[in-house]
Amino acid sequence: MAQDKLSEYRMTVSLVYAHDREGLNTPYNCCRLAGHLLRHQFTLGYITVKGLEIVKRAERVYLESYTSILLVDKKKLEAFYGRSVIPADREMVESSSDEILSGAEDVDVAFLVVGDPFGATTHTDLVLRARELSIPFQAIPNASIMSAIGSTGLQLYNFGQTVSMVFFTESWKPSSFYDRIKENAQIGLHTLVLLDIKVKEQSLENLARGRKIYEPPRYMTAAQCAQQMLETEHERKEGAYDENSLAVGVARVGAKDQKMAAGTLKELCDIDLGAPLHSLVLLGKRTHELERDFIRVVAIDSESFDKGWQALSSLS
């Protein structure tokens, strides 16, 4: 296949598959498999020029809509791209990948995802499936929450492992995130916590009865995350953090109404950062005074923040 026809990854709003050869909120990336896989930020302007070019010439454009959400109306997105956009829910991506890849040997197909194209295992699985079918691809990186979190003023070099926080239920309260946070804390690194979203989910009863009835969408808030973190510490009692540990809650990162709040986990339990998407950063002891000066501006309580920062710095 000609090199100029090979697919390419982009940091835009999609994951694309092409015939000749891949989000606070977060940004989108693009990838092209025998097409393209693209990813970009959650607003229209975050797509790269290269990514937009690929989307505009794609035969089909899919938008993955369950591992994250795009805070742009579908009609506006289609008008901007000049292409119809096909929503791809969990069922389609996990069970109907052949439909997405169909014809990708002969035409460009774009699969758009919010954030990093390989931020979810299902995206990796889709690429592996394309490989099995001898559909070439190339990834194009773009902005994602993993880099956009730098807007907090916290140095990216000081971040450790990223963890995910899911909605707890009465019978299911996974705490694997706690172990990763503890490991980060032991070497003084910040922890980015990505928060759960529930989109097009079925209740156990409807799932068991085979009824295509879906629950209303839910998006975890920074306050809910802080509450569940403290609940887990109360159960584990291993001292990875406590109610006085400093953290930063963020919402709609990169959007015009982006919002941040810094404070103790106890303070963040009551914070309202508004609409989704939210994330949270638990601070580690490896800090810099420039980080302090930057995030102190969004402190819930300056006196409490200064006290917490002093305690944190004394550990290093």
User: Was 156 annotated as part of a binding site?
Assistant: no
Interatomic CA distance for residues 8 and 23, integer angstroms: 20
- Of 231, 294, 227, which Cα lies nearest the Cα of 267? 227
151 annotated among ligand-binding-site residues = no
Q: How far are the Cα atoms of 149, 187, 202, 243, 270 from residue 23, in angstroms, in the given order?
A: 10, 27, 24, 28, 24
Q: Which residue has the tokens 């009865």?
A: 209
Rounded Cα gap, residues 168 and 201, in angstroms: 15
153 annotated to bind ligand: no
Q: What is the C-alpha separation between 114 and 217, in angstroms, rounded?
A: 17
192 is in an annotated binding site: no
Alpha carbon distance 314, 316 (integer Å): 6
Cα dist from 89 to 58, 108, 120, 173, whole Å: 20, 20, 13, 25
316 has binding-site annotation? no
Give kind and range of the element (H or E) at residue 30: strand 27-33
- What's 278's DSSP letter? E
Q: Does the annotation list 272 as a binding residue?
A: no
The distance from CA 140 to its chain's CA centroid, rounded to whole angstroms, is: 17
Task: List binding-site positions.
Answer: 116, 119, 144-145, 195, 253, 278
Which amino acids are annotated as binding site for S-adenosyl-L-methionine, given as ranges? 116, 119, 144-145, 195, 253, 278
